[in-house]
Structure 1
């Protein structure tokens, strides 16, 4: 099927590339299907693109590449909802707020996106951990220097 995207124009996608967010993403409850699109010449950042709405696309990254001490437990509700059974099935990303200049970009460590790579289901999980913020600098004291 063809979809319009925010950063890649019109592209052809396959159904097996679609990630299902059963409850949408906080702030976007009607957006339930997303795809992951690579950025050209960049293997650190990815676009989480809505299948339905071209304007809804998030830049995401692996938080552990930037925050070596980032850790949390996946709550039972998320484990059940995503049908997670093995640690190997889990992929974690965080949504970025891209700034100009890029060095001011922040990561939402308070709400990681949890992917079940086995069944293509995902969820943005809200943490109840005050040590993480929604606007943690990627390149500051706690991020990569």
Structure 2
């Protein structure tokens, strides 16, 4: 099937590539089917592209790439909703808020996207008992350069 995308133009996708959200992402009640498309050659950044709305695409990344100590427990009811049989079924992404300059980009570590890569089921999970924020710096050691 062909879809129009925000960052990739028209794409030909397969039905088996579609990720179905068991509950829509908060704030987007009518969007529950997405596809993950690479944004860079290194495999660090992706677009979580709605297949229903070409203008809706979240920039996402694996949070362990920039926050190696990122850790949380997935509640049993979420594991059941996603039909997770093993930890190896899980892919975790964080939604990024891309800034200009890019070094000021932040990640939402308080609400990761959990995907069962075997069944292509997903859910955004809100971590209530956590020190993680919705605006975690991707590059915490980079300082903004002020030109004068």
Which TM-score band (shorter chain)? Answer: over 0.9
Separation (CA, whole Å) in 2 of partners of 1:11 and 1:87: 31
Q: CA deviation at 1:90?
A: 0.6
CA distance in 2, matches of 1:102, 1:4: 25
Q: Determine the C-alpha separation between the residues in 1 that align with 2:119 and 2:37.
A: 18
Distance 1:40 1:117 in 2: 20
Gaps of 5+ in 2: 142-148
Please give the secondary structure, in 2, of the residue aligned with 1:42. Answer: coil
Q: Deviations over 1:81-135 (max 9, x none)?
A: 0011201101101000000000000000000000001111000000013410001
Partner of 1:24: 24
- In the other structure, the counterpart of 1:65 is 65
Judge conservation of contact 1:98–1:106 (CA < 8 Å) in 2. Answer: yes
99-108 vs 42-51, which moves further: 42-51
Q: Can you give the 5+ residue segments of structure 1 that lack an aligned partner in the other structure? A: none
Counterpart residue number, 1:12: 12
Match status 1:38 vs 2:38: yes
Aligned match of 1:99: 99
Give TM-score scaled by structure 2 length.
0.92
Contact kept, 8 Å, 2:25 with 2:32, in 1: the verdict is yes
Aligned length: 141
Structure 2 Cα separation of the partners of residues 65 and 104 of structure 1: 16
Tell me if the contact between 2:22 and 2:82 (Cα under 8 Å) persists in the aligned partners: no
**Distance of 1:122 and 1:3 partners within structure 2:** 20
Q: Report the TM-score when normalising by structure 1.
A: 0.94
Detail structure 1 runs of 4+ shifted over 4 Å in the superposition: none
Alpha-carbon RMSD across the aligned residues, in angstroms, is 1.0
Q: Secondary structure at the match of 2:24?
A: coil
Contact 1:110 1:129 in 2 (8 A): no
* Cα deviation digits, residues 31-66 of structure 1 (max 9, x gap): 010001112423100110000001110111110110
